[in-house]
Each structure stands twice: as structure tokens, then as C-alpha cells.
């Protein structure tokens, strides 16, 4: 199995990996035995698609859905605010049991 540690897949069920260093457009990196060609720059610590992610599909990191794709995302694309919508709700619960919704 070929792996060069530039992209780290945190869990086998993830459809994104984490850039262990800045990746340049056109650069090829292996994540396990799969080559991934960067479609654009990906900064260190940011997510990169490991497989096609259709618009509306869940983006999965560390075996947990972290948001939904707002457009089709191709393997090797930077996954960030421009193509990912958080699924987290803007709420929090205080110790008194009341739930408050943050205003946008």
C-alpha cells in the first residue's frame, strides 16, 4: 500500500483527508494506495476531498459528518467555506436547562 503522509485520512469512512503540509495545484499525493491530484492550493491543516462528493452529500471527517457539500466536490479539491455548509445548529444549553438560539 503506497502512502506518502502528505494527506492524512483520520478514519477509513472519511471522504476528506487533512493536508499535513501545504499542497500546490497539480501536485500529486498518495493517500493509502490512491493517488490524489490537487485541483488547487490546500493549506496545511485544511481538508481535501479524497473521492467525489456530490452537492448535498455529507462531508465526513474522523467518522463524523461535519457538514454538507454546497456543490459537487471533486477528488483533490480544497474543502472549506466555499463549498461546505456546516450542519451544526447555532444553539447552546445553559445549566438551568433552557436552550437559547444565537441570533444571526
User: Per-residue confidence at 87, pLDDT binned at 50, 70, 90?
Assistant: confident
Q: What is the pTM assigned to this prediction? A: 0.81
Average pLDDT of the chain is 88
What is the per-residue burial (b if ≥16 Cβ within 10 Å, else e) of 41-53?
ebeeebbbbbeeb
Which is more confidently placed, 90 or 5?
Answer: 5
Q: Give the CB-side neighbour count of residue 92, counting CA atoms within 13 A.
A: 4
Domains of the chain plus CATH, in order, are: 7-101 (2.30.130.110)
pLDDT digits (tens, 9 = 90+) for 31-79: 888 899 999 999 999 999 999 999 999 999 999 999 999 999 999 999 9
Amino acid at each position: 500500500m503506497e502512502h506518502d503522509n502528505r494527506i492524512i485520512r483520520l478514519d477509513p469512512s472519511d471522504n476528506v483527508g487533512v493536508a499535513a503540509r501545504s499542497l500546490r495545484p497539480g501536485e500529486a499525493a498518495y493517500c493509502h494506495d490512491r493517488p490524489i491530484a490537487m485541483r488547487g492550493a490546500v493549506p496545511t491543516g485544511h481538508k481535501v476531498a479524497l473521492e467525489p462528493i456530490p452537492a448535498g452529500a455529507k462531508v465526513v471527517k474522523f467518522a463524523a459528518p461535519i457538514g454538507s457539500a454546497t456543490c459537487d466536490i471533486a477528488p483533490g479539491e480544497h474543502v472549506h467555506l466555499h463549498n461546505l455548509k456546516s450542519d451544526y445548529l447555532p444553539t447552546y444549553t445553559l445549566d438551568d436547562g433552557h436552550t437559547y438560539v444565537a441570533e444571526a
